[in-house]
Structures are given as structure tokens and as C-alpha cells.
């Protein structure tokens, strides 16, 4: 039974604002009569995007998927089959070439996407209802999310998924509205809010966030459990949960917001990244490690970042020169700096490679190179490093994924 929760009363906390022309010359001689310059007839024809170019990447706990311009999705590593047995994919597979995805998002052990018809599709582990197909288990090929909703985006979380659709915001899976501390599993979308102005959604373990954008006004709204400040709101306001979306304390110049496990990070239009929530492994990137904080912490180093991504214990982002930096736990080399040393501040990924997008998993990280190659580093026990092998070796430096093209 869907429970309609009224959309929010935004809790606003004080935040400091962070604040071809082509020419050609006509030939003329002294004896030529004066003539008027020719009328420009240049017609700009945009180049078609390369269908093989990778444009999006997302990582689950032990697998990674990447999307091409064509809508083809390839995945490697282990996605859970029917919630019981991990299936190791030693090489990336292009079996999802008929999906025609426009966006993709990984949960811990499941995947969701939106196709060109705006349908939501999910596959993988569905034992908690996080696939939204009303079956309570998961197929290995995409199946439609129930309800006939037309989605703008879907976000995968630990055991729950959320989507922003033309008729509101919905979640499904392990107790999808987080209103009471129970473990009810709901296998079809539950209405969270009737608001349909958002176009993105990101999901953690028991919370989610969307973006509100009106011109230059760009704010992150979050709801769910705030036990360790992951909503970037003082838990004293909502000691158990926020039943409707509340204005996170990241200000109104947010370019991107990402959530994972019990952490939320906001990428500001200035290039600064701020994070709130759990910090036991230094995943807030502010040079410290500690229990948690609801006050947004600026990731250290003064970098101008974009493409910020979070795993449960580490984060990564790309700087203005397209070099990747990571911070937090590094027990399997997921920081990619050639060591197994953790860091509470961003460290450069080794090799001098440049990237267009990056995705953090549980103990691995993958990225799209500016050369359109796919690269991974970190754990490889289910083949998530994409090297065609499966072992317990920590890949402490980026390795190129065996692309099936």
C-alpha cells in the first residue's frame, strides 16, 4: 500500500554562499569594382556523438557498469543472481546492447536504468524488492519497474531504489519510506512526494537526495534516516527520520549531490566538494577521521573538482586537468595511488591518466579515460578490476579494462 507523504517544509539553515567564428578574406585588385562583402551562408551542423564513446560509469559493491552514447551498457565483476550466489563476470559483457539506456545507477548488488522510453528497468539482487518488479527476486536481464511510471532518473542504494518520475518521487525495496524502524520489503514503487521538478536522485543505505534547480538556484533536498548527519541536517531536528525532503545544509550553489551508505557529498559550482555523515575512515576528506558530523566538511586540498563519487568508505573526484584524486579507506588499493595507505585528504591516482568520469565501489574504483578507455583499480576478487581475472590481488594502480568492443 502506497503511503503519500506530504512534500516538504524546507528546513533552511544558515549557509555561507559559495559563491566560432571562422573568417575568410575575399581577393580583390585595384581594378576590381567595389563589391559588398558576401552574405555569410555558414550553416552550423553539430557532429553526431560517437556511439561507442563511454559517457557514464557506475559501481556497485563488487561490479561496475558503463554506458555508451548508443545506450549499450556493459558490466563486469559480480552482480548477485537471485540474491544468493555471486556470478563473476570475468570480462565485460555487451549483452545489454538492446537496453538503450539514457542513465544508469548501481546499488550494492543490483542495477537500474532509464531507457529511451523513460521506463525504469532493474536487474540483479531483488530479494528486498529493490528491483521494483513485484517479484521479490532478481533476474539477470533488465525488467520493467512496476507501475508504468515515466522516469527521469533512478538511483540505486544498498537495498533500496528511488526514482524521480513525471508523477512524483518513488522508492522501493527495504522499507522504502524509512518512516519507522522496521524491515518491511516493498517490491513496487511507493510514493514519497508528488513533486516532479527534480531530474536526479541519489540513494544511500537509508536516505536519498534530489536536486532542486531554478536558474542559478541549485539546492540538495534529502529525506530518510539522519542518524549520523548524512542529511547534512542536525539530527536534533529529526531524531529518527525526515519523512519529507528537507533542505540539506549545502547551500544553493550545488552542481551535483551524491549519497552512499551513510555519507552525502555536494559538489559546488565553485569546484569545492563538501561532505557530511560518517567519517570513521576519513571518507569526508577533510583531513580528519572521527565518528560523524552533520556540518558539511570541505574536502581538503583546494582542488576544483567535478564528477565526485562516493563508496561506503572512500570518495573520488576529477580536477580541472582531468586527473583523478581519491581519499578515505585504501585496504585494497581503491585510492589508486600505488599504496595501501589510507588518506584523510585527496591523493592523486597514479599513472598520469586523465578521465572524464569516475565511480567508487566498495573496495574498487573505475573511471572513463579521456582516451575512451575504461580503467579500474582496487579489489579484484570477483573480477571487478575488469582484467579478465579473478583473484585477491589488490590493484593499487589503474589497469585498463578488457573492453569487448
C-alpha to C-alpha distance for 28 and 26, rounded to whole angstroms: 6
Is the residue at 47 inside a domain?
Answer: no
Strand partners, 171: 162, 190
pLDDT of residue 287 exceeding 50, the answer is yes
Given a contact cutoff of 8 angstroms between Cβ atoms, the answer to whether 120 and 103 are in contact is: no
Is the residue at 24 inside a domain?
Answer: no
Structural domain for 295, as ranges: 54-400
CB atoms within 10 A of CB 186: 22
Region of poorest pLDDT, from 70-74, 246-250, 257-261, 324-328: 70-74
Counted domains in the chain: 1
Region of poorest pLDDT, from 44-48, 84-88, 114-118, 241-245: 84-88
Give residue 153's pLDDT band: very low, low, confident or very high (50, 70, 90): very high
Per residue, what are the HEC states of 157-218?
CCCEEEEEECCEEEEEEECCCCCCCCCCEEEEEEEEECCCCCCCEEECCCEEEEEEEECCEE
C-alpha to C-alpha distance for 389 and 77, rounded to whole angstroms: 10
Is the residue at 80 inside a domain?
Answer: yes
pLDDT digits (tens, 9 = 90+) for 177-201: 887 655 688 999 999 989 888 899 9
Given a contact cutoff of 8 angstroms between Cβ atoms, the answer to whether 330 and 339 are in contact is: yes
C-alpha to C-alpha distance for 27 and 25, rounded to whole angstroms: 6
CATH number of the domain within which 199 lies = 2.130.10.30
Is the residue at 5 inside a domain?
Answer: no
Alpha-carbon distance values, 276 to 38, 87, 229, 269 (Å): 60, 34, 6, 18
pLDDT digits (tens, 9 = 90+) for 15-60: 333 333 333 333 333 334 444 444 445 555 666 788 889 999 999 9
Choose between 37 and 218: higher pLDDT. 218
Is the residue at 43 inside a domain?
Answer: no
Is the residue at 48 inside a domain?
Answer: no
**What is the sign of the dihedral through the CA atoms of 204, 115, 386 and 82?**
positive
Is the residue at 363 inside a domain?
Answer: yes
- Judged by DSSP in three states, 35 sits in coil
Burial (CB count within 10 angstroms: exposed 0-12, middle 13-18, buried 19+), residue 57 = buried
C-alpha to C-alpha distance for 31 and 342, rounded to whole angstroms: 77
Is the residue at 91 inside a domain?
Answer: yes
Q: What is the mean pLDDT of residues 99-125?
A: 93
Structure confidence at residue 43 (pLDDT):
55
Structure confidence at residue 96 (pLDDT):
60
Given a contact cutoff of 8 angstroms between Cβ atoms, the answer to whether 294 and 229 are in contact is: yes
Region of poorest pLDDT, from 30-34, 214-218, 278-282, 390-394: 30-34
C-alpha to C-alpha distance for 71 and 142, rounded to whole angstroms: 13
Structure confidence at residue 3 (pLDDT):
42
Structure confidence at residue 278 (pLDDT):
97
172-186, 232-246, 351-365 — which one is most confidently predicted on average? 351-365
Amino acid at each position: 500500500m502506497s503511503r503519500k507523504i506530504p512534500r516538504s517544509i524546507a528546513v533552511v539553515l544558515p549557509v555561507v554562499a559559495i559563491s566560432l567564428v571562422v573568417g575568410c578574406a575575399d581577393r580583390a585588385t585595384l581594378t576590381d569594382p567595389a563589391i559588398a562583402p558576401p552574405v555569410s551562408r555558414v550553416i552550423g551542423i553539430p557532429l553526431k556523438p560517437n556511439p561507442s564513446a563511454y559517457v557514464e560509469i557506475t559501481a556497485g559493491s563488487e561490479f561496475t557498469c558503463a554506458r555508451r552514447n548508443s545506450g549499450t551498457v556493459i558490466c563486469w565483476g559480480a552482480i548477485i543472481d537471485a540474491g544468493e550466489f555471486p556470478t563473476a563476470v570475468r570480462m565485460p559483457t555487451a549483452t545489454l546492447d538492446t537496453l538503450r539506456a539514457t542513465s544508469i545507477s548501481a546499488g550494492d548488488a543490483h542495477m537500474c536504468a532509464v531507457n529511451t522510453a523513460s521506463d525504469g528497468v532493474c536487474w540483479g539482487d531483488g530479494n528486498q524488492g529493490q528491483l521494483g518488479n513485484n517479484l521479490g527476486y532478481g533476474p539477470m536481464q533488465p525488467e520493467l519497474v512496476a507501475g508504468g511510471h515515466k522516469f527521469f532518473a533512478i538511483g540505486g542504494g544498498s537495498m533500496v531504489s528511488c526514482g524521480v518520475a513525471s508523477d512524483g518521487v518513488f522508492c522501493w525495496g527495504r522499507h522504502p519510506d524509512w518512516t519507522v524502524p522496521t524491515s518491511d520489503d516493498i517490491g513496487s514503487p511507493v510514493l514519497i512526494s508528488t513533486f516532479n521538478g527534480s531530474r536526479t536522485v541519489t540513494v544511500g543505505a537509508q536516505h536519498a537526495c534530489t536536486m532542486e534547480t531554478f536558474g542559478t538556484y541549485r539546492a540538495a533536498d534529502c529525506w530518510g534516516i539522519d542518524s549520523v548527519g548524512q542529511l547534512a541536517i542536525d539530527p536534533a531536528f529529526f531524531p529518527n527520520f525526515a519523512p519529507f525532503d528537507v533542505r540539506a545544509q549545502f547551500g544553493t550553489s550545488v552542481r551535483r549531490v551524491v549519497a552512499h551508505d551513510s555519507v552525502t557529498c555536494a559538489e559546488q559550482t565553485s569546484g569545492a566538494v563538501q561532505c557530511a555523515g560518517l567519517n570513521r575512515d576519513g571518507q569526508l576528506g577533510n583531513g580528519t577521521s572521527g565518528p560523524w558530523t552533520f556540518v558539511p566538511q570541505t574536502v581538503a586540498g583546494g582542488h576544483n573538482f567535478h564528477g565526485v563519487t562516493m563508496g561506503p568508505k572512500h570518495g573520488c573526484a576529477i580536477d580541472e586537468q582531468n586527473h583523478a584524486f581519491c581519499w578515505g579507506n585504501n585496504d585494497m588499493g581503491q585510492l589508486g595511488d600505488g599504496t595501501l595507505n589510507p588518506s584523510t585528504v585527496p591523493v592523486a591516482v597514479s599513472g598520469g591518466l586523465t578521465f572524464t568520469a569516475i565511480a567508487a565501489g566498495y573496495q574498487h574504483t573505475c573511471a572513463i579515460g579521456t582516451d575512451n578507455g575504461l580503467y579500474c583499480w582496487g579489489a579484484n576478487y570477483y573480477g571487478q578490476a575488469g582484467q579478465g581475472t579473478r583473484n585477491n590481488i589488490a590493484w593499487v594502480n589503474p589497469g585498463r579494462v578488457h573492453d569487448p568492443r
